[in-house]
Amino acid sequence: MGRVSIGGQAVIEGIMMKNVDKYAIAVRKPDKEIELKIENYTPVSSKCKLFKLPIIRGVFNFVESLLIGVKTLTYSAEFYDEEEDDKTKGKDIEKNEEEIIDNNSEEVAKKKETSDDLFMVGTVIFSIVLAVGLFMLLPAFLASLLDGVVKNHFALGLIEGVIRLAIFLLYVVLITLMEDIKRTFMYHGAEHKTINCLEAGEDLTVENIMKHSRFHKRCGTSFLFIVMFVSILVFMCIRTETVWLKLLYRVLLVPVIAGISYEFIKFAGKYDNAVANILSKPGLWVQRLTTKEPTEDMVEVAIKAVEGVLDWREYLEEQKNEKK
């Protein structure tokens, strides 16, 4: 069966699924109930034909995914922030806060929405700056220390790329040591299994989903790995002896690299041929670190998230009819 347009992301004790013009966040709350929130949104690519062009669309899609990702992560974290608050604050204080909110509900809602938007934008900017500094500028600086030893431009570019990949893989390994991240990676596995089950044309039941692979070619992990690889090729084409200019190029070319990497992931996700499969292998290997086998209750959350954005029974029926 063909690929579906659904993409997803693991959040804190939950999963976000996105399909065309809406996304749903399903979270397993502390009381073990599943909370489902559905949001409509207008993709940036639909606002201007320019944003649909190859390479350019990848840049806007990347930023848009970051914004939605931060928003959904913040939403899922609120359930567990509230749980901690309940442990540290008395119920009387909570009641007083609720009364204040009730008296100024509209004003409080507006302030909270503005505050959340500012936090979201600030977090995205900080994340991009940190990523560029850690994965682009630091490897370039470390490689530049070998300028006097390695005279070949391409060899130096390859060394920089190896350093970049090493930093990326080390970063992934280190975050897997965190207990909360391990659970998030299990939800990540549940997300992939669910999409793989849907693409295989099977009903979304826990039993069916658990049989499928936790790896997927359109994964964000694969995208980031491809970014590391594409950056090696792109930076090898830029030759300059000035260190500060070399670092500046690394920053300016990030959108280009992201755009090229997006096109590759789009190609790999669309086609199931030998070329796409071979080129996808390295990203799938890295997913062994960023996805873990989920529990059945995590898969239940994934099913809820899918149902928030797609009538999968109707979809499967349509796909069967098209094959006839």
- Confidence band for 187, pLDDT divided at 50, 70 and 90: very high
pLDDT greater than 90 at residue 186: yes
The model's pLDDT over 36-73, given as tens digits with 9 standing for 90+, comes to 999 998 888 777 888 888 889 988 888 888 889 889 99
What does the block give as tokens for 208?
């069916």
β-strand partners of 17: 8, 24
Hey, what are 63's tokens?
Answer: 């930023």
Mean pLDDT of the chain: 85
Per-residue pLDDT at 95: 47
Distance separating alpha carbons of residues 54 and 64, to the nearest angstrom: 16
**Is the predicted pLDDT of residue 96 greater than 60, yes or no?**
no
What global pTM score does this model have? 0.84
Q: How far is CA 309 from the centre of its chain?
A: 18
> Is the confidence at residue 85, as pLDDT, over 70?
no
Q: Which of these, 184, 174, 156, lies nearest to 9 by C-alpha position? A: 184
Q: Which residue has the higher pLDDT, 107 or 125?
A: 125
Burial 145-156 (b: 16+ CB within 10 A, else e): eeeeeeeeeeeb
- Cα gap 97→92, rounded to integer Å: 9
